[in-house]
Chains A and B, each alone.
Chain A
Amino acid sequence: MNVWKELGPTVLASFLASFVEFVEALTIVLAVWTVRGARSALAGAAAGCVLLAILVFALGPLLRFVPLDTLRVAVGVLLLLFGMRWLRKAILRSAGILALHDESREFATETASLAGSRASITLGIDLGGAGATFNAVVLEGLEVVFIVVALGATGGMLIPASLGAAAAGVVVILLGFIVHRPLARVPENSLKFVVGILISSFGVFWVGEGAGFDWVGRDLAIIGIAVIVLLASVLTVPIARRIVDPVNKAGIPGVPQ
């Protein structure tokens, strides 16, 4: 029970954040798979994974040379920026100010774009298709790497954070193989809402820790911070909705998809 209290927030934040990123990468991989075949899609994805692994092994050890408090403040600020960016978008989407992200539309756009361009085959691999999956895996993967390193490195939680991300990867890949189409039913905005809250909470916590501020409850303060951030965000949704659409008074607090 105590172990889960300590590791839970890190594993959960890493799992959910990585899940969203993997779903976005999977959409592109499936689009390439459909139009240009499995070999091109998997070759690009594999190359992307190799580049990410090289980046992690090359840059990861450098973190040891940064003083811990400086590292905590720097990582905390980056987590705060990353989390608040997601949270802002999720609030605006819930309030109807921004359009919801649509994986099916993303899939259709990517498929149409690939179908409209000429294939350039080398060694049985279409370079355009492989390039698209390579880009998707590297860009979404970079976010996963950042989340894992940022959540793990500052509090000695690298293994739990990695396990959370790995579990998300396995779940998304399995789902992708089973349904073989974009995971459009994933409530992405609700997930981004939760992830934004968790990542922002970790960010504020680590900035405070690095600055030498005292959090009531030590590490468990993260849960309290998350509850406060959740309340502030949920209360902001109907206010923002009423500003944009004053006629519609149904500003029900919540995190609708």
Chain B
Amino acid sequence: MNEGAKPRRGIARVVLTAGAELWGLFVDDGMLACALVAWCCLAILGLPAIGVEPAWRAPLLLAGCLVTLVIDVLATALRRRALRGASTSQ
């Protein structure tokens, strides 16, 4: 049983490493990735459902993605400032 478990653990490790590498291709900051996916889903399903004019759907999709990026970058900057403030006050 133990002999069979070793190769299985080896394969699992390779699969996990490959999965982590693949994940890292697209996701650096989990919050940004989740927010972008959520906005895309919301825009695709929600904008037509609430009756947004067809001409406005594409610009709103773009605007939402940009707002998401800008908020994420500024939140990272604020976190960095808070960290610096904490380290200088110690």
Chain A residues near B (Cβ < 8 Å): 73, 76-78, 80-82, 84-85, 87-89, 91-92, 95, 97, 139, 142-143, 146, 200, 204, 207-208, 210-211, 213-216, 221, 225, 228-229, 232-233, 236, 239-241, 243-244
A15 to B48, CA, bound (A): 36
Q: Which residues of B contact A211 (CB under 8 A)?
A: 43-44, 57, 61
Assess whether A78 is in contact with B26, with CB atoms less than 8 Å apart.
yes
Tally of A-B Cβ pairs under 8 angstroms: 110
Assess whether B76 is in contact with A97, with CB atoms less than 8 Å apart.
yes
Q: Does B8 contact A (CB under 8 A)?
A: no
A232 to B66, CA, bound (A): 7
Assess whether B54 is in contact with A85, with CB atoms less than 8 Å apart.
no
Q: Which residues of A contact B66 (CB under 8 A)?
A: 228-229, 232
Q: Does B3 contact A (CB under 8 A)?
A: no
Q: Which residues of B contact A215 (CB under 8 A)?
A: 58
Chain B residue at minimal CB-CB distance from A200: B65
A73 to B81, CA, bound (A): 37
Known pairs A204-B62, A244-B84; A88 contacts B29 (CB<8 A): yes
Partner of B44, one of A146, A207, A225: A207
Using an 8 Å CB-CB cutoff, how does the interface string of B12-43 with A read, 1 for contact, 0 for none? 00000000011001111100110011001001
Interface of chain B, main secondary structure? helix
Chain B residues near A (Cβ < 8 Å): 21-22, 25-29, 32-33, 36-37, 40, 43-44, 54-55, 57-58, 61-62, 65-66, 68-70, 72-74, 76-78, 80-81, 84
Chain A residue at minimal CB-CB distance from B54: A214
Partner of B73, one of A91, A207, A214, A216: A91
Known pairs A78-B26, A85-B27; A95 contacts B44 (CB<8 A): no
Least distance between A211 CB and chain B CB atoms (Å): 4
Assess whether A244 is in contact with B77, with CB atoms less than 8 Å apart.
yes
Assess whether B77 is in contact with A243, with CB atoms less than 8 Å apart.
yes
A257 to B69, CA, bound (A): 21
Assess whether B76 is in contact with A92, with CB atoms less than 8 Å apart.
yes
Partner of A89, one of B21, B25, B28, B33: B28
Q: Which residues of B contact A92 (CB under 8 A)?
A: 73, 76-77
Least distance between B3 CB and chain A CB atoms (Å): 25
